[in-house]
Amino acid sequence: MAQHVLPEISVLCINEADIKALNQALSATWPAHTQSLKIGTIYESLRNLPKENQFDLIVSPANSYGILDGGFDDAISRTFCLPKHHYRALTDAAQRKLYEQWRGFAPPGSCTLVKMPSELQETNRWGCRHVALCPTMRVPSIATWNREVVYESVWSLMCEVDRWNYPTGGDSRAEDRISTILTTPLATGTGGVDSDTWACQFTLALKHFSDALERPQRWSSLEWTDLNKEVKDVEATWE
């Protein structure tokens, strides 16, 4: 059985407050994170991101219907599709996959991997081959009522990437493995989630998922008494 390795994660930020919040969350919540994964921040917009920052997958904080036309989704559509392709090229691919997997509606907190159309793979400068649809809201709106949506979205993302990289009953996808991920802070724009809440839930989801990979015996046979710390850690981000 192949050893499951977490992908490298780059967090693209246009607000310094998000970078500060993430660094603080990692230091306070998971100081030993460097032993399990490589994570870093980039203070730049997607449009101006140098080609040296290669990534296999980009996270779309999409709505549940995969319409990539607002906020960072709009930046994705403009950067990957225009001017050589139609603005909706990626939205069309996303919605075909959403219909196949969810009949068109992906619940907030879920994750759906979409293979980027070959023509978009060929024309983007970062070598990106996949889009992860991680809706934090059904339609563009405030998402703070869902107090754990960032945690749920990041957990779902890591599950789908791990499932892609290490398919059940088969060898790891050495040639098409998702080794590098580009994401932004989730739900901090239209969703209204503050930087500290995003950063804490983002960090906790990665920490708990890493623990699940390292301790399968525990996570495959849980009792309520086993989960006191994880539950309390996440609930503490509600405040």
Is residue 169 assigned to a domain? yes
Pairwise CA distance, residues 167 & 124, whole Å: 27
Neighbours of 224 (CB within 10 A): 7
Is residue 60 assigned to a domain? yes
Answer whether 80's CB lies under 8 Å from 130's CB: no
Q: What pLDDT, on the 0 to 100 scale, is given for residue 169?
A: 64
> pLDDT per residue over 31-88, tens digit each?
999 999 999 999 999 999 999 999 999 999 989 999 999 999 999 999 999 999 999 9
What spatial distance separates the first Cα and last Cα of the chain, rounded to whole Å? 41
- Among candidate residues 110, 151, 103, the one with its CA nearest the CA of residue 134: 110
Answer whether 57's CB lies under 8 Å from 129's CB: yes
Q: What pLDDT, on the 0 to 100 scale, is given for residue 3?
A: 79
What global pTM score does this model have?
A: 0.96
Q: What pLDDT, on the 0 to 100 scale, is given for residue 172?
A: 59
Q: What pLDDT, on the 0 to 100 scale, is given for residue 62?
A: 80
* Residue range(s) defining the domain that contains residue 79: 8-236
Is residue 3 assigned to a domain? no
Per-residue pLDDT of the chain (239 residues), as tens digits, is 567 999 999 999 999 999 999 999 999 999 999 999 999 999 999 999 999 999 999 999 989 999 999 999 999 999 999 999 999 999 999 999 999 999 999 999 999 999 999 999 999 999 999 999 999 999 999 999 999 999 999 999 999 999 999 997 666 566 789 999 999 999 999 999 999 999 999 999 999 999 999 999 999 999 999 999 999 999 999 97
Q: What pLDDT, on the 0 to 100 scale, is given for residue 232?
A: 96
Is residue 1 assigned to a domain? no
Is residue 115 assigned to a domain? yes
Distances (CA, A) of 166 to 75, 157, 158, 169, 182: 30, 14, 12, 9, 20
Q: What pLDDT, on the 0 to 100 scale, is given for residue 175?
A: 76
Pairwise CA distance, residues 16 & 199, whole Å: 13
Answer whether 174's CB lies under 8 Å from 137's CB: no
50: which 2 tokens? Answer: 């140098």
- Split into its structural domains, the chain has a count of 1
Is residue 2 assigned to a domain? no
60-78 per-residue burial string, b: 16 or more CB within 10 A, e: under 16: bbbbbbbbbebbbbebbbe
Write the single-letter amino acid at 192.
G
Is residue 168 assigned to a domain? yes
Answer whether 182's CB lies under 8 Å from 79's CB: no
CATH of residue 148's domain is 3.40.220.10
Is residue 145 assigned to a domain? yes
